[in-house]
Amino acid sequence: MAEKTVRTGWDLKRGHDAATKWTPTPDWRSAAIVRSSWSARPLHGLGQTLLSGDLDAARAALAPNASEAGLWQVAEGDALVRIARDRALLVTARPLSAPAGWSPSGWATSAADDAWAVIELAGESARAVCAQATSADLEAGSPSAALLFAGVTCLLYRTAPETARIHVERGFAPYLWRWLETVEG
C-alpha cells in the first residue's frame, strides 16, 4: 500500500519528525564550554521571581540583602536584577516560596524559577565574549540589565569582576548555547 503523503510546502511524509530539522538541545546536565581564557556552564536550581510594582518594598519583604544589578553591574549573593522602572527579576540561591500575586503594599510576584535558563560565563575573556553579542556600552552603567544579546532578549550582569551571568528565556537557551560554542578564543 502506498504511503500517504501529507501535502505541505516541504512535501512531508506521514510520521516525519520535523524536530530533526533543528539543532539538538544540549544535555544541560553535562553541557560546558571550556576555552583557554573563558568558560561557560549552565546554572541550575536558582530561585527566579519576577517582581512588579514597588521594587524597594518587594525587596524589603522578600530578600532585604539583595543588591540591585543593572547591565554588567556586579551583584554578589541575592540579586535584584533590574529589567524596567517597575520590573525586576529577584535571583536567589534557591527558589522562594513567596505566594504569587499582588501584595497590599504595592508589588506583585510571579514565580519564574524555570522561565529563564541561566548561563555563567567566567574568565578573563568573558567580557570580550559579551562584547561580541551586543553593541551596548557595558561600562556605561545602564540601570536595566535587559538587552539584545546575540539577537535575543537576555539579562546580563556579573557576580564577580570576571564572572557574568546571562538569563535567557528557556526556549532560546539552545540557540544561545550554540552561539556561544561558535565564539573562538
Partner 1 sequence: MQLFSCPFCGPRDETEFHFAAEAGKTRPEPAGEVSPEAWSGYLYAKSNPGGPSREIWQHVTCGEFFLMERDTLTHEVAGSKALRGQRP
Residues that bind partner 1 (CB under 8 A): 71, 83-87, 134-137, 140-144, 146-148, 153
Contact between 116 and 48 under an 8 Å Cβ cutoff? The reply is yes
| Least distance (Å) between residue 53 CB and partner 1 | 11
What's the min distance (Å) between Cβ of 175 and partner 1?
17
Compare residues 133 and 183 and give the one whose CB is closer to partner 1. 133
Please tell me the distance from the alpha carbon of residue 36 to that of residue 50, in angstroms, as a whole number. 35
Nearer to partner 1, 81 or 123 (CB): 81
Is-contact 84 146, C-beta < 8 A?
Answer: yes
Count Cβ atoms within 10 A of the Cβ of residue 3 and give its class: 0-12 exposed, 13-18 middle, 19 or more buried.
exposed
Which CB sits closer to partner 1, 67 or 144? Answer: 144
Which residues does residue 13 pair with via DSSP β-bridges, in sequence order? 5
Residue with cell 551586543: 134
Nearer to partner 1, 28 or 175 (CB): 175
DSSP state of 12: P
Q: Which is nearer to partner 1, 57 or 61 (CB)?
A: 57
CB of 71 to partner 1, least distance (A): 8
Q: How far apart, in whole angstroms, are the C-alpha atoms of residue 183 and residue 77? A: 29
Minimum CB–partner distance for residue 65 and partner 1 (Å):
21
Contact 127, 84 (CB under 8 A): no
